[in-house]
Structure 1
């Protein structure tokens, strides 16, 4: 494993251990439990409320105190309340009042209450069990014996305050010495719905003290807002019979004090506006949740520790696998997931998992891992900067501004500049005293004329103005462009290095500077390779293509960017190497064996190519590479073929008339004849040599014609002039000429009058030459599909089909009967082809043996306003 990877994993493990250690400390000390309690309180609002449709609260409120009298009431009042509830049909009555002492002044009141309780038969009384509080006194406050015997059951009503002073739960069993007393709601439930297996049975353990407060079965109460579902009746209204009987019949009635300063008011997570909940409502809430088995159980310590560590370590486990931009969303997702997991346990399993330590551990993972990731990134950037700076010489030369003296030297040596001057400028553009100049003495008026040009340069935090006076005629566009490039090369391209307050920003700026240098270097080489007229292909040691410039991409039909699907061995598809075109693998084999392979080949497009494959070493990555260079030598090969054809032509066609003239002169000396016959034959051979030379000159001129020599012209006078020139030749061979055209046709083209006329003359001359005596040559000028067409049709000997594709090449003549009896250099139709191409047109030919030929000169038509 590499050192960097090993260090990375060690740091990742260290973050995991740090998060786990924090969670252990939080769990052991109970710190930050306020976060868990806050999350628990918020979740209670989303739990479904218990069914309290058969429960009613009878409250000893302020109105009851005003009408009945101050507290404590005579117990006969309580007796009348119980009797009245019995008449209303209450199924059970929970008196949330402790009658610990008998009324020694009015014993008949106690007797009345005992009789009322016994008559109803379902009255339940509370027991108060205290652990002694700060003074350490243990208390177990029970109802007086007479009331206890009349009650259907008794149970404790004590609750537990958390560290923040809020009641969230209670013990289902509580007592002194043993967990004797069940909670009052449990006693009520066991009485109303008894079952074989007791709920929350009392258990004696060896660890419990012989005489002390003993508690078992701690449960959390799912407090919900029951204000709209739990009816609350005033005790005075019940006593006076002024309530709806439906609110009490067959209902469980919880009767207790709710007036301020009278009853026990408990702070709960969902208390009313005053922040307190009366004890009587607390007991009703506990009973409703207990009856539906929805009291919440705190998770065991072992499970809490295990789940806390598992959930807290999710965040540091995932963060290394996501990018920085997703770190916070992932962290928020993990925190939300922990909350949802805890809520799901509450909702479906009535289990409470304290989320505080797990959430704090997950949150701690983000700064820890971000710190290590940032340090790792900075360490890598520092190492990368050291590596880049080790090979920074070329980058420095590319981006370092050129000195002004180099500009002046090149201007004086290579540009058509009559004079120059360089002066400093202030920030406001005002000229300073320093000025350098060179060249010829130029008047100030000339410096203000059309030949003068001025360029602003910012070099070395100093502004300069470079003035040039060009020679007569002004600068060419290429010269102007080069001077602007020189000015740009002198200016600063990168901001000077400066310190930054933030270390990260400083490293980022240094990396950005190196990035700009690398980009400049890449663009520099890409621009050079792209502008090469030769094709360049670079392949790695496995034959994968790394780079293909534009020229090679065009010649080899390769994509210049997406080259993943093409290998070096597939380049042979476009190159014909060897006689059968299958020698590409041998070329690669030779380059791998000897280090270089050179040969000439042809592409499938018909280009002659020179191939040079070189094997070089390019460092460890990509290792050794093969550089393939292609050069198009079609022009060279064509020139060599033309030279060979020229030599053949000179050795045969051009020498033949000269040899005939010499032979004619020798025969005349040996056998003197008439002078007229000799002159006639000499004139024939001389005319033939002159015609061949004239055709050479015409062809050379056509090939050298530029677009600037073209002007708008009407083809009608061109064709008419050509027809007049060959009229005498046609009459001598007894061939009729017929010229057809439509006067309404607009036959204007952009061309050279002389070349077009000579081309039409050549077509007519060939048609007359190869026509039978007493036949006809038709000439037709018309417009068709945006082009001007001149057709020459004869009824002569025709051309062999296999020779039509070679008809317009140099020194090629048909071998038909007509061609056998006529002499020529084979340059006339080649001249016509060149003229047509120079005019962006074409020449079409069709023929049948012994039926004649048709030649059509097609030229682009132009509109003349």
Structure 2
């Protein structure tokens, strides 16, 4: 009703007409019509007016042109020039027309004077008598001033005149007759749209004077219908067309030539009957009215788009194939109107619903879980099997077995009440009613100490609620069903909102909440990320299956841990490994609200960092016990040797004692520096100049380089200001330079470049040493890692220097990389962000 009402209101405007015109113009200009081969055009253009003088010309010229075209073999000549008044040269023109035999002249309808009635403006009597046919030249202009078609017949009095193009074809309808109307009334009939071949000058025109003087080959007119008329700008009638609008109008003679071309090819377009447009609009209206209320919002857009496209396709097919112009505006407007109307109605309904639900949210802050009495027996059996791992089970509907393992109907005891568990030895039975059908569920429990605990747990399960209202069957409208689902979800969400938002989601640990059957009902974002399981698949999944799927184990299986947590109501803490990361899961039972049942809260903590710290601690202990202890033991042994014979102290012994002491000092210093780097935070950052840091580091290493006659050159002149810790940065650069000196041969060169690359301050230290094996590059910055080649060559390191450098660079949000070629040297490249990269 809304669509119909809006559509009727739009009929009071010109919107429908404009859309129809727009459709037609798009179709015509997109697929222009071909030009008939039996057509030629001679134009009275500017060149002809310049050559032959002002209009009107002597009619002897027209006679000569007709003779020229007759000699060329023109089949029909259409002289689209009005000759309303007699002339002295009419006889010559009439003789030429009679010699050819098929010359068509135009007639015009207009009053002779403004005070007279409508009348036919015929050619001069002699010319009218000689012409083979007369045709009207009236072209119909639409309300927007564009010529899209014409009436094939005009009637005034008892004379029924065909259009000029039809007269040229001799296609006058012999059965037609002039209607009974006053002699001064112009009655038009059989309107046709004209599929134009293009804009102005699309049909090639030969100049009047060139044809007259023989400058045009006569072969261009042999066997053709030749239209002759005015084409000069400002001379003769001009028409705006769909191709040109008001920019480049078409001459009247070219328009009539297009009519002739379309008529010969039977492509003139008729107006479709009114009932066809109404039928199309009615089909779209009924289709949208019946489908949109049942569709989702996204599908509504698609349905309206498909309807719109269907109308367009129907219009173009009817236009191009059947040559009917269908008024499709109303059918096109319907999808455009239907989309906002349907959306508005849906939003209004949803708004009223949400307002009511928002009021309910404030009044019902409770935690709600799915009621086990609403679950289907198949689902109950699946959940109980995953939780308790029974030795056997049986599920039957009446006498039909639905699922069975190790049990038979012969084992069923008598007098089993609905909703009450009956225990016989290690077997437990219960009857359930779901949807008017009766079900029998039986379990065979392990015959051990856990049986009594499990049976007590089952006894407390409330699987049947006689007071629960049955769901009323019946089809509902799609939107109503969605609203009902939203209402139910809103109730649950409102009751869990405070608990989830304030307790679970903001915790640093992963949280899983299960119901009394060990089925996951809630998991926070950490669980989704750590287990790499989408949240929809987590909800409703038994906890045991989740854990077994990611960390299967033979000893102490997960189902025992989970079931004991529920049955014994005791907490459990177990190690867990997920995707090569270490976790600790703590399972704790908790009482469900408004129930005497217990669920599980599983707290999962990521202890990967702790385990990594433990590993580093063990490595540090091993390092200290070997690398630090070894030089100290050597020092003590050497000191004891010197104490036994203090009178014979060798200088080499003192140098060895000094080397051992310095090695112990360096080890301690490396440990201290690495600890400082790991504890570095941005609160200890300040502005410092990078080039000055590098030059200070060069000065600290310069003496060591000179001892090996190594050239240590710093290249760089630009001040690069960083925000960082200059002391630790200098120590990191010293480490890199020291390594370069230590591993470079005497007499070589070390190049240190400081430069800017975009918003980064870069340092490149290149040596000419023996290089680093490609196999060791990935482990180069690992703690306590030392190169095998260096160790074998006698160059001993602590394995902490490069680890310290990497830690300092990462604390400054920078990057360090290494490029090395065996036998050619190594280049370390350090990149740090500039404090203010804009200048």
Q: Normalization by structure 1: what TM-score?
A: 0.48
Q: Normalization by structure 2: what TM-score?
A: 0.49
